[in-house]
Every structure is written in structure tokens, then in C-alpha cells.
Structure 1
């Protein structure tokens, strides 16, 4: 046989039941791999000399045993079984075997793989008579101890100074071990491995700090029991901060170490409010119901008998769906019962978000986005810190299911429930349900193959239907019997038939005819009641329908104009695109659907009405419409030389996204035939960091002294051609130290979900139930291992501002009705210090708007922040310092002053 490299040979080993005999492992491995002579199948030459045992360096304390000092036991005379397992090992310098002491040695970058054990160290020695393995460090050229052992069994990894293992009993002694379990870093002076699932620890430090040798804090305990992936049970424990013991101690503690979520108690936070007294907030219980969903119950209690309850649940199924549900209820009491300032309100809010994975079913989709509840919930809530939601005056919800049938043509159906709520007027509009269906476009005269050309081949038609059951109510009657008494329902069918063709290659002419049919189950009847001497309106139940149609056509084209500059100019060309369109629409009168009713007892005065006027899709028109519409759309682009000299192509820049003009002329009207001219436009500046939008309404008719529009052109009344009735302009600008690149950190998700913005322009929302989340967007590209410094050349910062102005002059007011500036900015004063502000100024009311100041200090495994609202109706502040890790989320100190809310 050809001799092989020692490091490339492995050996199978056979074991007795319930007992591992390392003697056969090492002995066989020695004869099969370490012999310098050739190896034969039937005979084994005797070793001429014995290799002396290398004395390992003293890496333990003086009382620690040395593997080389173990006594040698007499050889077992029983016949040994055949080899049945695999041993792999290697070393950089040498591998030696002492046949007298029965000790093998691997030196320098030694590695040993046996069953589920992986061991790497500077030196590894194994005593195959006692079935013991020793691993430790070695000294480098400077005399420093290097190559700390790494012991891995299954998924458990331990990095000690030295370790001794008995492979027969599975027991081990470990000195200065280091291990990571979930977020915990564990360092023990002495650890005893009792078996594969139990460790006993002595003088142990527990911390979530990254640097286990120099942690910013740790929990020190004398004795602990550790069960991997299950639990850690400790005795008397003491909190140390910066190597200084604190008076904070626990007689015992239990830490679950399961990789799966575990149910447990959530410790509340003690706070003080000016109107509700002392309180315990955000205490409750977390239910780990399964791998796919959970449930969190949180509650608040105040000494004046106010209380709150919240149920939060998240659920997910991979490649199927994900979502979360929040149910919130609060009973808020202000003042003393019987006194004038006493107030007692019940507030609630329901949020549900459901997202379906696009890969789960391409032909059907279910989605939900629900945000409904009391109109004053975000204003009065004692557990919400989200000014953006308070400023928002609209809550909306949609729950929908849609399905596509792969027929020819395609058929789509959808079923939805919608909700819209105005928190100012407290009006609620809800559809329960809404059904929509549509059939894809059909070209009845087009060939199956080839291009559709001409009027006939381009004729196409569609079909769509919508059916609704709508409720209009107010906040106080929501989901009460009164809400369902005045339900409105109906169904609308639409069949548009259209075609298009070109004239002289450049002019496009569309033609369309629309047919609509509306079904109602309830109409009205108006009549004069002589007994009551008033006009009565009576609901008529039963099926009824009306049908309408209209015709429209037009002509449009696109005109291009390019102005070119010289070759030496940085701006090479400016391109202007103009899209003029003239359209005509005609809708006849549907007078046959109108009736008359008396307005007085004699019946001499009669008025016209239609029985469909209270329908959800409106009523057919009484007057015919004959309109000419004019529109002119403009875009402006430039081609410039790129600053990057390596690029040869010109760079395109949009100078004007849009500039639109629109008006109409009513041929059938007897007066005021021209409608106001509406101007709108927008553009992006400074590398699209600034967006500008503007609009104006120009009326060609004059007004009288009472401010009423008269049938006389403004220019004929001594004025200009147009009269500016209203105008607006808004500017948004965001810049940062990275050139406007969007960071990938946290956004204001909860604030957006509550109805506010997804940025911090109106302040950053705060989840009071979990203050561990940062108030700032965290940059994931930042090197967390970079050394911290108080000053550096670039301070990360961002600035976001929005300015809006609105002008109104409909009745000679000539007023600026809105003029405000909102600003938010954040800056890193140092790598661990962040400061932010959100504020604004109202130039009409002449006052500072909502202002929030944010401060945050990253304390490595801890986080400290301070949020302050110094002025306004919601003055408040909050301070928090606590551990970031969820394992020690209760290790915190929190203090805040709630805003003095006014019950509304």
C-alpha cells in the first residue's frame, strides 16, 4: 500500500453499548495513521521507540489538573470490538503519541472532530486509557497565551481558557468559559458540564454587551444552572455597571432560553399624570400561542379609576400571508364626580393589517387595512404619543377580496367593505359590502392575428358592474340599530363602447358611447299633505331603475420643439413637448324620470323632482349637456453634459414635470358658458430633492358688489382678462449628508398606520409600551464595529421641510388663508449622540406650531433617550434608559409627564 498523509486518514471505531472506550480509538488511529513505515493488511510492525509526551503550557490556575499527570491504568484484557465511528484530527506543528502514558498530543492549531464534538485549540491532548481529552492555549513568540479553545457540541459553542472532557461520561470541566445563548453573552470562572443538557456555573457574568471581556454592564451570580436552549436559573444576583456593583439585586431569577417564543408576564411601568393621578401602564401578559401567531395583552390603571386595555396580535405563514391586529379601549375620567369639570369618556380604536404573499395564489387576493374607532381616540388617548395622528382628520378602512377567472375574455370580481370617517365632523360613511365585477375589453371586429387598424377594427366594448350597501351615520351611532335603518343600496351597470383612428397621421380621434343602467330597491315619493300642511317625503320600497347614455369624441396631437445650443455649452438642448386636446361630450336630458309635486294647498305652484334623487349613484340629469373641453399639457426637458467625464452620453434633466391648462365651454348654457381656467403644474429641483407643486383658478367673469358672479367678462368690467380666485403652492425639500440617499432604517410605521405621516415632519411617534425602539432612522450601512469618537469630519444629518401657501379671492377677500412652514432635522453630534427637532411656524396665526425635541444616546447594549414637547396643547416630556435586548427589556428606568389632554 502507498503511504498517505497523516492528516488525510480517518478511522472507524466500534463502541460497547452504554460505554465508550477511547483506548481502541486512539490505539487504532495510532497504528493506522502515525506509523512511518509502510502498512500491510496482515501484520503490524512494533514501534521501535516511544514518543515522549509534550508538557502543555500552564494555562490553568494552580489547582487545575493537568492531563499529562493522569495515572496510567492497566490494559483491559477483554477483546475489543471493531471500529464503528470516525475520528478526524490535525495539527499544524506535529501529532505525537506516547505509548507508555497512553497520551496523544496535537500541537498548534490543533483540531479534533469526534461524534458531535468539534474541538479546536492551541494544544489538544487525549488520554485513551481514561477516555479524557484536554485542550488549552499555547504561548506565542512574545510569551502571550493564544489560540483559546473552541468547544462545539451540536449548536452550543463555548470558548474557554482550557477544558477537560471525559468522552465516556460526557462530563467536562471548563475554566473561564465564554458562550453566547440568544442575546446573552455568558462568562463563567468554572463551568461543570454534567451531561449534554445541564451545565453548573460558578461565578458567572450574564450580559447582552458585545464585548464579554469588558462589558459596560453585567449581572453577576455565584451559582447558576444552565440548560441549553431551555433556561438559566440563577441564585443571588447583583447588577454591575462599568465594573461597579449597584444595590440592585435579586434573590433568584429565571431566564428562558428557548429559540421559540415563550409566554410570560410583562412588568408595568409606574408613571404619574396630572389629571388621572398615579398609574401602572403597559403591564400584562404575552401569549406565545404558536409559531404562526401570538397575543399580547396590556393594561393601564390610574388611581382615579381610569383604565385602558389593549390586545395586540401578529400572525404570519411563510409564502402565504402576514398581518397584525390591535384592539384598544380606554376609559378616561377627569375631575371629580358631581363637579362641573367632571368628564367620563370611553375611547376605542381597531387596527387590522393583512398582506397576502403574491406567490400564494396569483388569481385571488385578500387584503385588509383597517383603522376605525372613536373620532377623538388619538386626541384623548392616555397611551399614545403621536401628534401626526391627532392632526389627521380622516380615518379609512378597506377589507377586500378579489379573484380573476382565466377565461377569454378575463373576468374579475371583487368583494369589499370600506369605511371613511371624518374625525372633525364625526361623520361616517361605510359600505358593507361593495361588489364589483368586470369583463375584459372585447374587439368584436378585429382579426385574431395582425394589427388593429381603422375605425371598425378598433371598436371595443367592456362591461362593469358595481353594487353597494351604504350606511351614512355619525360616531355616536356607529354599529347601533339606528345606523342600519337608513341603509342605501343600489347596483350600477356600465357598458362603454369606443374606437379610435388617426387623421393625417398626427391627429388621434377617440370616439366613445357610454351606456349606464342603475337599479334601486328604494325610491322616494314627494307630495303635499293637506292635513299637516307641509311637504312630505315617503320612502317607496321596491325595484326601480333608470338608464342613461352619453357620447364623447375629440381630437388631439403631440407637438415637439427642440432648441439646441452650441457644442461648448453645458446645456446642449431644451425640449418642449406640448399636447393640445379638444374634446366634445353630449348628454341628453332624461326628463321622463322626473315628476311634479304641489307646494301649496291650492296646487297652483308645482316643483319638479325625481324619485331617484336620494340614490347612492345619484339621479339622471334633467338638463342636457353640450360641452367643449380644452386642455393643454406641457413638459420641459434639457440635455446637459454629465459631470462624470467618463460618460459620453448626455444627461437628461426634467425642468418641468407638467404645466396644464384646462377649461370648457357649455354650448347649451344660457349664461356663464365658459368655466374657470384651471392651471396646475409641478417640478423637481436640485437633483429631485425639492418638489414644487402649484395651481391657480382664473375666472373670466366679473362679480358684483355682493361678491356674486355675473354674466359679464371681467375685462369688460374694467378688470383684466382673468380674475384670480384662488391659488396655492407647496414646496417640499429633503437633504442629508449622504446626498439625499434614502436610509434603510426604521420609518415612522406606526405613525403612518395611525393616519399620520411616515416621516418625522410632524414629530416622531412613540410606542409607550416598548420604548426600546429608536426615535431616529437607524442607518444599517454604518459600521457598528468602527471605533467611537466624539468628533469626525462628517456629522451625519438630515433636513426635511415643507412650505405651503394658499390664496383666496372668490368674493374680493384678497386673503392669504394659509401660510405655514414645517421643519424637521436630525444630526449625529457624535457617533453615539443623536439630536432631532420637529417644529414649524404659522404666518397667518403668527405662532409656532407643534414642536418636538428629541435626544438619544447609544450606550452600546443600553439606550437612553429624552423626548420633549415644550409648547402647545400637548406639552409633555419622557425620559427612558434601558437595555436594548428583549431578554432584559424590564431592566429599565422610565419617567414621563403625560400631556394635559382636554376631553372633547
Structure 2
């Protein structure tokens, strides 16, 4: 055999020997793969992307490798070929894979490239490059630069404590400890980044030179706290040593000796940090600080307080409660003591005020037959003026009345009956007047047909159309001052009574086109007292005496009315074009008659009279009702035999549609034009009533013009004292027309915004598009784009239109509310007529977003009598991503003030803020 043949034989024998050993190893250890000997594996070869590996034990104290001590114990080789070692390796299996390649070395090291993944005992490590030492059970992960030099595939470590991204990572499988550089992990609402970090086996971290921020742009945050050293307990808390503030990469001279940032996913109690500030009149203060009680999953409680260096203080309790599918609500109780001036000096004052607010809503799913609702907003007269929370609320100062209502209603199932109890409190803050009504009980029965047959046979009888209903009320009320409510007497000062009303009606159809309605109404009032009046000749005044007992004050009346509808059509002449197809007029006349006896007659006892001699020696008789002060009033005087006339008009037009040549559309010219007047045949004088008119015109889809007017039908003269009195002479009898305008008014509101003129823009855009189509050299456009805005590539904030230019649009809106009223003013003795007087009110409100993050809004009202702005409130806000800034100011009026606030958005760092206030207390007059 030649030397060349011997070389090939030796080479083949070595090759088959290595192949034989490799096959035996695969048969004994399925965790090894035949692909482990490959130096490179294609990225798309799935057969080499999952390589489970039984990690060997760590080296013993002698440094002898125990790689295959256990895995090769049953090998076909001689038992003395591999020394036996003590079992001290990992019991769990480490799974690893890579998309690009996996390289093994003789030093028992594994190199993984291209999205490598290592999983072990609930731990997962992802990186673009991973190095694993099977002898020391250690793994090292790092990212790799791409073609442009950017680092991709940074290490991401996941375990039960959370997810952590880093620049480099060392980890030991056995000790479960690691060393991390430039870590990025989310803890609570914030991010922990940077620094050198040691991971302990109990999942705690020790960090040096780290950063903590709530800005989600954690790679380059707008602000952060630079932590010199910190201990991190994932999902629990962070405890730091000295830390200082960095804003926009600029270190600020704001430092803290230590910090504690708790994290919890559970509902828990905690301390509410106060806000620091100063006020010229009341001094420096700490406010809105206290403790939050997480009572349970259904109710909470926040107790806060405020204290000023010059003696003022206050406490507040807020609670929210909810029971799913049953009810929800909020309670807010507050008490403040305000001290101004120096004790012993004339300017010293001490005021105590409180607030009670409660809202309650019941879910209809809880009980469809019973409901409880509450809307309570009660404050003493000086609370809003002295509370900082409400001081910068524009609505708190512009509203003159506050109302509170608590209502409970029960509806009887399968019955027209319902019962309700209500408590009402109306508060006029201008003069601290209270109108309290409690308790109010109501019993009502819906419409029923008492004569309707249960089993209908044949045509409906006329009496089956009769329907009736019932409502009964009990009311107990008082009108008094705020400081007198607790001193009032329930019997003498409170007014109470009961009210019953039973309406009965039926509607019939006569002669096919005439609707006839007959009705009868009975009203009863029950009082426990009446006020008698008499003339005291010695004191020359009226004296009143309250008589207690049970009194019934009732009245009734009957009415009969008829109405119909008349239609008129008008087709314009063709010489005026064919745009207008037809005009339709709907005329609805109504005539009714009502009659009632004179309930002021002496036989009823509802009215009385007293007489006295005036300064001219004349005997004057004054008629009054002892029940006029009752909660439900009294009955009217005089007989009634009234005939009422009313007309209603509607005018519409059909025109050809601009969009569809074959279609038509309807336009409302006058939605409603009505007038009504009555004549009382049973009255001794003043038989004609005033003429009431109203008109409603729909100008646009969202804008209506509505106006009502009252026309006076009688003339005036001067009595012997020189005062104008209405006399029994209708105006048409003296040649002054049917009536004179005595009162009218209208109001309208409209909002202008970006969409107001959009239709014109769309029309111009469509014309431009047609012109471009007619031009052969015009640039091609996407037929599907239309007028839609296109996003600029790489910048979602910039939008482009079909012409290729960026769209410059600033969202804005302006709301205008205007009302004007006309009424009688002073009396003109020469013309024997009242002079007219106009009253106007104008209010404006609007907002504008100058940029995506800047916004400005305002509200103002104008006083036409004083010819100046009565009130104005302006607000400016700036969204700074993870920060927010707002400034509000009242530039004119008695409530001149300003408020500046800047804070972090995160609720975790809500105390990282700055506030500056200025109010009317600071506007002192110096002498």
C-alpha cells in the first residue's frame, strides 16, 4: 500500500470513529443535537433553532470539570474513561435557541447570534448575542450593532419579578445573581433606568447612579430624579439615598436626602402630602394634606386639612362609594375657619363656614320600581369666598343660587299608582336666603279609563273615552335667612298644606275633521291655619291674626274646546322658474270655552274684606283671602265664562335638490306662528285678555330664532294720586289699534368652529380638483384620497392635503349667547303710555389650540347698563408630555385673581408640583 493510500485509510477510520461516538452520545443523551457540531446554521433553518441543553454542574473546588459526570454514566465506553464526580449541578433544563447561529467551543462555551433566547426555571433572557459558559453556569448577553451602527437586540430579562431591559447582563443560573448595566424597567407608573445594578437571588436590586422618571420616553426623559444609590424591591418599593432633580438635562438645585416610592397593585391606604403656599392676608399655609383610608372595595375616605400661619384652618372629608348594579355616589363635607386682620383691631374678623355636597345615583337594574337620587350642594354664604378650591372656579362665583334635592320614588308594579318623597333646599348666596321644603310627599295616579270594558265587543262607546288621573301633594316649607333656620318655629314659621287635583277629560271626533275635547278639573287645598286681617284705627295700620284649624279651599271648572287643520297649497308661476315646486300652509284654529263660579263669594268663605277711612275721609273696602299665604295659594276672584281663540300657522316650501336633479327637499319657512286671546263674558270689566303671540323660525339646522310677545289691549289713565291705572277702555275703541307691545324678548346662542366654514372649503377644493383634471400636465393624484389628509412620512403630527402642501389648521371654537328683552319702563304722562325699555345680556366663551399641546379658553359676560365687562375668566394650559402646566386669571371685576400650577402628570409623583396663587385678599388698600 502506498503512503497516499495509508493516509486516506487513517483519515476514513478517524472519521467513522468520531461519527460512531457521536451517534452513541445522541442515543444516550437526547438533549444533545447533531447540529451542535455545525459552525453555522442558516437563519431560516428551523431545525437548529431549538436546542435544549442539560446544563452541567458547576466546577468543584479543584476546578475539575464535571460536564458529563451524570450524562455519560451509562455510556458504552469504559467506565474509567470519565471520572465520576459528586452531583451538584442544576436539576432544571435550560432551553436555548438562536435565529442566526450557535457555536460550541472546546472550552464548553456556547455562542448564540441573532435573537437568542435562554429559558431556565421561569427565567427568560432575550438578546441578539448571548455567551453561555457551561462550566461556570454563567451567561452574558449584549446587543449588536446593525449596518448603520445602531445597537439592536439589547438584552431583555424576564422572571416573576418583572421585565428588565439593559445594555449588558451577566447572570448565574445557580446563584440566580446578576450584574446589569444601564437597566430599563418599569416599576409602578415610572421607569427605572441607567446605572450599575446588582441583582440578588431574592429578586432585589442594588443600584448605583440610576434614574427614576414617570416619563414614558425613558431613553431621553424630560425629567428624572438622579439616584446616587437605591434599593429596588420589584412591585413593592424603591428606597433611595440622596437624589436630585434633573429637568431637560439640566440639574436643578432641588435635592432630597432620601426617597421612598411605593408600588402596589392593591387598593391600599396612604398619606396625602400637603401643598405649600402663601397668601398675603392669611399667611403661609399647608393645605390638602391628610390621610387616605382604603376601607374596602366599595367605599373609601380621604381626610384632609389646611392650616395658615395667621390662625385660619379647615378640615375636609371626601368619600366615594359604589356597589355595582346597585348604586354609586360621593360625599364631600368641609368646614373652614377664616381669620383676617389682627386681634383687637377694627379689621379683625373670624368667620366659620361649611359645605355639604352629596350625589347619589341608583342603578335601574337594582330595583326598577324604587329609586333614590340625591343632588345636594349646600354651602354657607361665605364659604365660596374663603375656600381656595372654589375660588378659581368661575361657576362658583357667577351662580347666584344653589339648589339641593333628595328624591325617593316607589312605583307600584302593574299599577298606575306611584309614591315619592322629596326634600328641596334653594339657597340664594347674594343675601343668604333659604327656601327649605321638607318633607314633600306626592301620590299620583296615571291616566286610567274607568268605563272601558275589559272585553270589547262591537264599536267603542262614547263613555269609554273618558279618562281621569289624580295627584296629591303634601308640602312643608319655610322662607328665611340662613342664620334663622334653626331658630324657626315649626308651627308658626313653617307653612304646610295638602293639595289634590283630579282632571277628567274625553276626546271625540265630529264630522270627520273636527276634534272636540271636554274636560272637568277639580282642585282642593287643605290648610291648618289662616291669616285674618283687620284695620287698627288707633295705629292706622293693618293687623294680622293667625287662626289655627282645618280649612278646605277648593275650586273647579269645566271646559270645551274644538280644533281642526286646514291645508293650503300654492304653486308659483313658471315665469319665475321651476326651482320652487310648491308652498304649503297649515292653519290650525282652536276655540274653547271654560266656565267657573265666583269662589270669592261670601258663601264659600275663601275671601274676606276689611274697611277703613282714608286721609280724604273716604271709606275704602279692601278684599283679601286669608289663604293667600298658603303653600298652594288660594282661589281666584270673579266668575269665569271665557271664550278663547287661538291660531297656529306653519309654512313650508318644496324646492329642487342641488345634489339630485330628480329629487326635492323641504324647507321650513315658518315653523310656528301662533296667537291667542280670550274674552270673559262673566266679568264685570276688563273682559278682554292680552294678546299673546309667538314665532319660531328655523334658520339653519342647528340655529332657531324664537320670539314671543305680549300686546296690551287696554288704555291707561291717572288716578287722583297721579298714578297710572288701567281703565276699562279697549284700545280699538279709542283708535289706538288692537294692542300695544308691552313685553317681548328673544335669545339665541351659536357656536363657530373649524367646521362652520368647511362646506365652502370643500366646494373650493372640488372646483380645484376639476380644474386639475382639465389640465393635461397636472400631477396625478390618488383617486381614493379625495379630500382626506395624508400623513407625512416619518412624522404623524404633520398632515398633507391633496395638493402636497402641509395642512395648517388650528382647532378653535367661539360660542355667543345673546338675549334681549323689551318691557314697560317709566310712564309718559303726556302720551298716557308706558315708555319702552330694553335689557340685554351678552356672554362669550371660546377656546383655541395654538399647537397640539397649547390651549387657551375663556368666558366673559358684558354688562350693557354699566357698559363694561362684568366678569372674565381666562385659562392657559400646556401639555408637556409627562408634565402639565396651567394658568388661570380673572383680569377684571371684584374677583381679580390669578393661579399658576405646574406638576407631574403621574399620580405617584403628584406632589412634585409648584403652585402660585393670587386673589382678592392680596388686593389691599394702603393708606
Same fold at TM > 0.5: yes
Q: Specify the alignment match of 2:84 in structure 1.
A: none
- Of 617, 620, 640, the match for 1:625: 640
- Tell me how far 1:386 sits from its aligned partner: 2.6
* 2:821 aligned with 1:806: yes
For 2:30 and 2:922, the matched residues in 1 are separated by: 93
Q: Specify the alignment match of 2:402 in structure 1.
A: 395
1:697-736 aligned at under 5 Å gives the runs: 697-705=710-718, 706-736=723-753
Where 1:850 maps in the other structure, the secondary structure is strand
- Tell me how far 1:412 sits from its aligned partner: 1.7
- Of 498, 501, 510, the match for 1:491: 498
Residues 809 and 815 of structure 1 are in contact (CA less than 8 Å); yes or no, is this contact kept in structure 2?
A: yes
**Deviation per residue, 1:301-336 (Å, 9 max, x gap):** 344433333333222233332222222333334444
For 1:518 and 1:76, the matched residues in 2 are separated by: 105
- Tell me how far 1:441 sits from its aligned partner: 2.5
Q: Specify the alignment match of 1:696 in structure 2.
A: 709
Residues 528 and 597 of structure 1 are in contact (CA less than 8 Å); yes or no, is this contact kept in structure 2?
A: no
Q: Compared with structure 1, are the counterparts of its residues 233 and 481 closer, same or farther at alpha carbon in structure 2 (3 Å cutoff)?
A: farther
**Deviation per residue, 1:315-361 (Å, 9 max, x gap):** 22333322222223333344445555444433333221122233333
Q: Specify the alignment match of 2:317 in structure 1.
A: 311
* 2:909 aligned with 1:881: no
- Tell me how far 1:856 sits from its aligned partner: 2.7
For 1:103 and 1:558, the matched residues in 2 are separated by: 99
For 1:564 and 1:89, the matched residues in 2 are separated by: 88
For 1:709 and 1:365, the matched residues in 2 are separated by: 51
- Of 808, 832, 837, the match for 1:793: 808
**Deviation per residue, 1:790-824 (Å, 9 max, x gap):** x9611111111122222222645534442233222
Where 1:289 maps in the other structure, the secondary structure is coil
Residues 501 and 522 of structure 2 are in contact (CA less than 8 Å); yes or no, is this contact kept in structure 1?
A: yes
Residues 473 and 483 of structure 1 are in contact (CA less than 8 Å); yes or no, is this contact kept in structure 2?
A: no
For 2:448 and 2:505, the matched residues in 1 are separated by: 11
Q: Specify the alignment match of 1:673 in structure 2.
A: 687
For 1:503 and 1:36, the matched residues in 2 are separated by: 109
Q: Compared with structure 1, are the counterparts of its residues 91 and 435 closer, same or farther at alpha carbon in structure 2 (3 Å cutoff)?
A: farther
Give RMSD over aligned pairs: 4.3
For structure 1, the 5+ residue unaligned runs are: 1-34, 56-66, 742-782
- Of 584, 587, 593, the match for 1:584: 593
More off after superposition, 648-657 vs 175-184: 648-657
For 1:717 and 1:88, the matched residues in 2 are separated by: 110
- Of 135, 143, 147, the match for 1:137: 143
Higher relative CO (Cα under 8 Å, sequence separation at least 6) belongs to 1
**Deviation per residue, 1:449-492 (Å, 9 max, x gap):** 77995632222222322222222222221344447752222222
- Tell me how far 1:167 sits from its aligned partner: 5.1
More off after superposition, 828-837 vs 278-287: 278-287
For 1:289 and 1:51, the matched residues in 2 are separated by: 64
- Tell me how far 1:133 sits from its aligned partner: 5.5
Q: Specify the alignment match of 2:236 in structure 1.
A: 230
- Tell me how far 1:98 sits from its aligned partner: 4.9
More off after superposition, 220-229 vs 161-170: 161-170
Aligned length: 806
- Of 859, 863, 868, the match for 1:842: 863
For 2:245 and 2:846, the matched residues in 1 are separated by: 37
- Tell me how far 1:854 sits from its aligned partner: 2.8
**Deviation per residue, 1:81-124 (Å, 9 max, x gap):** 9x999998765446x58597666676534556666545544355
Q: Which has the larger radius of gyration?
A: 2
Where 1:396 maps in the other structure, the secondary structure is strand
Q: Specify the alignment match of 2:892 in structure 1.
A: 871
* 2:305 aligned with 1:299: yes
Residues 535 and 599 of structure 1 are in contact (CA less than 8 Å); yes or no, is this contact kept in structure 2?
A: no
Instruction: Provide the TM-score with structure 1 as the length reference.
Output: 0.78
**Deviation per residue, 1:202-231 (Å, 9 max, x gap):** 322111222111111111102212223332
Q: Specify the alignment match of 1:502 in structure 2.
A: 509
Q: Compared with structure 1, are the counterparts of its residues 123 and 724 closer, same or farther at alpha carbon in structure 2 (3 Å cutoff)?
A: same
1:200-219 aligned at under 5 Å gives the runs: 200-219=206-225
Q: Compared with structure 1, are the counterparts of its residues 181 and 569 closer, same or farther at alpha carbon in structure 2 (3 Å cutoff)?
A: farther
For structure 2, the 5+ residue unaligned runs are: 1-21, 42-54, 60-64, 74-86, 614-618, 759-792, 800-805, 828-832
Where 1:388 maps in the other structure, the secondary structure is helix
Where 1:476 maps in the other structure, the secondary structure is helix
Q: Compared with structure 1, are the counterparts of its residues 195 and 518 closer, same or farther at alpha carbon in structure 2 (3 Å cutoff)?
A: farther
1:653-668 aligned at under 5 Å gives the runs: 656-668=670-682
- Tell me how far 1:238 sits from its aligned partner: 0.7
Q: Specify the alignment match of 1:174 in structure 2.
A: 180
- Tell me how far 1:169 sits from its aligned partner: 4.8
**Deviation per residue, 1:230-271 (Å, 9 max, x gap):** 322111101001111111000101112123354213222212
Q: Specify the alignment match of 2:357 in structure 1.
A: 351
- Tell me how far 1:285 sits from its aligned partner: 3.6
Residues 508 and 555 of structure 1 are in contact (CA less than 8 Å); yes or no, is this contact kept in structure 2?
A: yes
1:75-90 aligned at under 5 Å gives the runs: 75=68, 77=70
Q: Specify the alignment match of 1:58 in structure 2.
A: none
Where 1:704 maps in the other structure, the secondary structure is strand
Where 2:221 maps in the other structure, the secondary structure is coil
Q: Specify the alignment match of 1:417 in structure 2.
A: 423
